[in-house]
Structure 1
Amino acid sequence: MAKARPVALPWLVLESIGGPARRGIQMVLATAALALGVLREGLDPRSWRRRTLRAELRRTLHQAVAGGFGTVIITASLVGFGVVHQAIRWLSFAGQEDYAGSLLTTVLVREVTPVLTGLILLGRSGTVTVVEFGATKAGGQLDMLEAQGLDPFSLLVLPRVVALAVAGFTLGVIFLAVALITGWLTGWLGGLVQNAPRELLTNLFAATDTAEFVLFAVKLVVVGALVALVCAITGMSSTRAESPSHLLPRAFVRGLLGILAASAILSVAVS
């Protein structure tokens, strides 16, 4: 019996470099392909005639919004004290209160709110998606659906992506409102703010043009949908030997990189 030939060191080095890059490219392509499928099916009114699909949409939307609401309130309150309050405080010391709107638009509206909302969705709803899809794949239920002539994409992936996209926008708006209210309230209690909250909102809206509001909404929707796509792919690509302890860290890293990349790309595209 012939002995296996040892692998040369240069090939091992190339494999260690090219393997992660190849898997990363495959993940990006799979996410893009699944996103195109969601757009095509989601914009077709005939896709939503099935009662099971609408029920899954309502269930996932309730789980995402209700499950992430408390975390959003707490996180937004901390951000309101740490970002909004500090911005108002230092600008008032410098006599530049009128620039509060521009600063908050750049920091809070454009970057902080979409990223933190995406991380909350990833931790609260993305993990649920990974576990559910991994269990479905390991239990052979995907094969059973296909054997019955049912499309797992339409029944499982499509409502999950749409629900998390809507939940991302909803939780992001709540996050922004709570952060602004908390920042103004702590500034008012500390004697730093003498004006009504209406003036802070007036400065914020005056410094925010239509493109910024559109970017804010698009970021929230894209981030929510991206969390669902990445977690669905991670869960459905699992094997029987893989447990949630292997899938969840992988999904978190992929989701985190996807959220940061999407936020940065959209910010650069609009700038």
Structure 2
Amino acid sequence: MNFSERFSILHIGLAFLGRFSRSLPRFFLIVIGGGWGVLYTVLRPSAWRRTVMIEFRRSLRQLIGGGFFSVVVVACLTGFGLVSQAVYWLGFAGMSQMTGGLLSSILLREIAPILVGVILLGRSGMLMLTEMGNLTKGGRLNTLSGMGMDPFLIFVVPRTIAMTVGGVTLGTLFGAMALATGYVACWAKGIVTVSIWSFLFEVVNSMQLVDYIGIPLKFLLSGSTVGLCCCLSGIDVTAEDNLATLMPRGFSRGIMSILVINVLIDVILGSL
């Protein structure tokens, strides 16, 4: 093997390594830029034109209406499977005074934001991903840009804000339904004898100040990052992409964003 052949092999290897290294932070930087763009646009009253408001209402209606039943079902199952079992075994072990703290730290702070984020991703995020991918591959986004309309303003901004509002709304519903269902299951079995208001007060009273900040923040940022990742993944398609490659990529990005947001908030608030 002469020098030119060795140089060609080395050049190919370095090119592959560089392409791989650049591809890892690429979408992460796109999401950061897109998030700043959404925040900057939302704060401008002139950006809320009629087309943007129509898309926001349509997305929010589809999101809340479509995700309501899924959230209620998952919350009821979580209440039966987690809350009732936690109350039972803590009472059996003589540590019933730890019930409120355990439910607030495990259910509301850790489990609920992740489950709500996954529901938003699977129920509405994948639909947004498919729609944006079809619009991009069909050349309709380029057509809108040629007509002087900004696809980012028309599609990405209202859908991301709708996912943000939906995350907070459905997250609050999930927590309330899970606690209420768990209480009903325990009350029917005779495990608890206090009223539901006393039970909820015990859970709320065990929460710390960082919980009142972190839990709503997790719901809010989980919804916004899921919406942003799905919309930007749909815009970031290539001519070789199809549903078989687009859907797994968008789903993995959405799951990763949910986990990263929850871990970062825990780390930041835990250091305070």
- TM-score (normalised: structure 1): 0.93
Q: Which residue of 1 aligns with 2:129?
A: 130
- Is the 8 Å Cα contact of residues 215 and 270 (structure 1) preserved in structure 2? yes
In structure 2, do the counterparts of structure 1 residues 135 and 13 end up closer, same or farther at CA, with 3 Å as the change threshold? same
Residue 147 of structure 2 corresponds to residue 151 of structure 1? no
In structure 2, do the counterparts of structure 1 residues 196 and 22 end up closer, same or farther at CA, with 3 Å as the change threshold? same
In structure 2, do the counterparts of structure 1 residues 157 and 195 end up closer, same or farther at CA, with 3 Å as the change threshold? same
1:257-268 equivalent positions in 2, closer than 5 A:
257-268=256-267
- Give the length in aligned residue pairs: 266
Q: Which residue of 1 aligns with 2:215?
A: 216
Give 1:11 shift. Answer: 6.2
- Is the 8 Å Cα contact of residues 100 and 200 (structure 1) preserved in structure 2? no
Give 1:41 shift. Answer: 0.5
Give 1:15 shift. Answer: 3.7
RMSD: 1.8
Unaligned stretches of 5+ residues in structure 1: none
Q: Which residue of 2 aligns with 1:186?
A: 185
Q: Which residue of 2 aligns with 1:92?
A: 91
In structure 2, do the counterparts of structure 1 residues 45 and 253 end up closer, same or farther at CA, with 3 Å as the change threshold? same
Q: Which residue of 2 aligns with 1:38?
A: 38
Query: Structure 1: how far apart are the matches of 2:231 and 2:19?
Result: 22
Give 1:95 shift. Answer: 2.0
1:29-68 equivalent positions in 2, closer than 5 A:
29-48=29-48, 50-68=49-67
Unaligned stretches of 5+ residues in structure 2: none
Among the aligned pairs, what percent are the same residue? 36
Q: Helix, strand or coil: the match of 1:193?
A: coil
**Letter paired with 2:264:** I
Give 1:211 shift. Answer: 2.2
Per-residue CA deviation, residues 95-120 of structure 1 (Å, 9 max, x unaligned), is 22221111011101111010000000
**Letter paired with 1:142:** L
Q: Which residue of 2 aligns with 1:174?
A: 173
In structure 2, do the counterparts of structure 1 residues 21 and 69 end up closer, same or farther at CA, with 3 Å as the change threshold? farther
Per-residue CA deviation, residues 223-259 of structure 1 (Å, 9 max, x unaligned), is 0010011111111111233212210100011111110
Query: Structure 1: how far apart are the matches of 2:87 and 2:189?
Result: 11
- Is the 8 Å Cα contact of residues 80 and 178 (structure 1) preserved in structure 2? yes
In structure 2, do the counterparts of structure 1 residues 88 and 128 end up closer, same or farther at CA, with 3 Å as the change threshold? same
In structure 2, do the counterparts of structure 1 residues 151 and 213 end up closer, same or farther at CA, with 3 Å as the change threshold? same
Query: Structure 2: how far apart are the matches of 1:25 and 1:241?
Result: 21
- Is the 8 Å Cα contact of residues 72 and 117 (structure 1) preserved in structure 2? yes
Query: Structure 1: how far apart are the matches of 2:191 and 2:205?
Result: 21
Query: Structure 2: how far apart are the matches of 1:64 and 1:99?
Result: 36
- Is the 8 Å Cα contact of residues 81 and 183 (structure 1) preserved in structure 2? yes
Query: Structure 2: how far apart are the matches of 1:26 and 1:13?
Result: 18
Query: Structure 2: how far apart are the matches of 1:178 and 1:22?
Result: 44
Give 1:20 shift. Answer: 4.6
Per-residue CA deviation, residues 132-166 of structure 1 (Å, 9 max, x unaligned), is 10111011111111111111111111001000000
